[in-house]
Amino acid sequence: MIKEQCVGFLRTPPLWTKEQFGIRQFTFPTLDINGLTPEPIQGKLRLGHQMEHVFYQLIQNSGKYTILVYNLPIKMGNRTIGEIDFILRDKITDHLIHVELTYKFYILDFLISEPIHRLMGPNRRDMFFTKMEKIKNQQFELLHGKEGIEALSKLKIDHTIISHQACFKAQLFAPFKMKSIPIRPLNKACVAGYWLQFDEFSSREFHDHSYYIPYKSQWVVAPHEAVEWHSHFEILLEINIRMLKQNAPMVWLRKSTGEFEKFFVVWW
């Protein structure tokens, strides 16, 4: 699974390019995934921590950067007040880059008038605007507070010469059958599928295909044949249980032609 996650991570575009919202996007170095033999992930980690593990191994194998800091907790007394994801040293320029890593799955809700507030998690709890503000105002600033300066000083790292960037990758899901998807200045290449409500998914239009509900660790991976596919009727029963629990699942769809699609079925 870790190799597939590495491939999925690399193929996921950044949510924006260059600088937007006062945040510079990290440009991921080019590397050959074929020669990579990544270390498996130990234990049961949430998806965000799995992606940190993936990022770490890919950067290590890129040859472009030295990793100086990886998941450094910043403490005030005995209390952890934050964590620095990565500090990298460019092997050519010696520049130090603080990288905050984020990998998200957002639906697009065009009933919301303000574009920046349209991106949210499939359960409508994980908001892009909130995450963006946290990166700028908390995670970047963490390095320059008293506790952050002290933690970096112990590693002989000068906080004043570090530039801040975000590696913010995302898969976006537009409303079902929406033709034009206006998301500028965000990256349209991030649109990976669609979302729809349970009643829409129950319709005749979806009866003749095969389905699979991926585990969250598989969300990064492109749909493929090597899973246990189910009929529309079988998957409806499982999705109905998720709806009752107010949990929007990702679903893979396989057509008789061999084409794949992926989407979220939402409960709200």
- Give me the pLDDT at residue 220, please: 97
| pLDDT at site 33 | 82
Query: Which residue has tokens 């990288």?
Result: 99
- What mean pLDDT is predicted for residues 110-138? 95
pLDDT digits (tens, 9 = 90+) for 129-146: 999 999 999 999 999 999
The answer to whether residue 164 scores a pLDDT higher than 80 is yes
Per-residue confidence (pLDDT) for residue 94, from 0 to 100: 97
Contacts of 23 (CB under 8 A, 6+ apart): 132, 135, 136, 164, 165, 166, 168
| Residue-by-residue DSSP string for the chain | -HHHHHHHHHHSPBSSSSEETTEEBP-PPP--GGG--PPPPPS---HHHHHHHHHHHHHHHHSSEEEEEEEEEEEETTEEEEEEEEEEEETTT--EEEEEEEEEEEEE-TTSSSGGGSEE-TTS-SBHHHHHHHIIIIITGGGGSHHHHHHHHHTT--GGGEEEEEEEEEEEEEETT------TTS-GGGEEEEEEEHHHHTSGGGTTSEEE---GGGTTSPP-SSS--B-HHHHHHHHHHHHHTT---EEEEE-TTS-EEEEEEE--
Q: What is the rounded average pLDDT of the residues 144-161?
A: 97
Reference 175, options 190, 196, 192, 159; nearest CA is 196
Q: Is 179 a residue whose pLDDT tops 90?
A: no
Map out the domains of the chain as residue ranges.
2-171, 182-266
Query: Of the candidates 37, 70, 73, which has an alpha carbon nearest to the alpha carbon of residue 55?
Result: 70
Q: Tell how far CA 107 is from the center of its chain.
A: 12
Residue 257 corresponds to which amino acid? T
Q: Give pLDDT tens digits for 6-25.
A: 999 999 999 999 999 999 99
- Predicted confidence at residue 35, as pLDDT, reads 78
- Does residue 152 carry a pLDDT above 80? yes
- pLDDT per residue as tens digits for the range 194-252: 999 999 999 999 999 999 999 999 999 999 999 999 999 999 999 999 999 999 999 99
Average pLDDT, the chain: 95
**Mean pLDDT, rounded, for 150-158:** 97
Q: What is the pLDDT of residue 206?
A: 98
Q: What is the pLDDT of residue 43?
A: 77
pLDDT tens for residues 34-91? 878 888 888 788 999 999 999 999 999 998 999 999 999 999 988 999 999 999 999 9
CA 151 to chain centre: 28
pLDDT of residue 31: 86
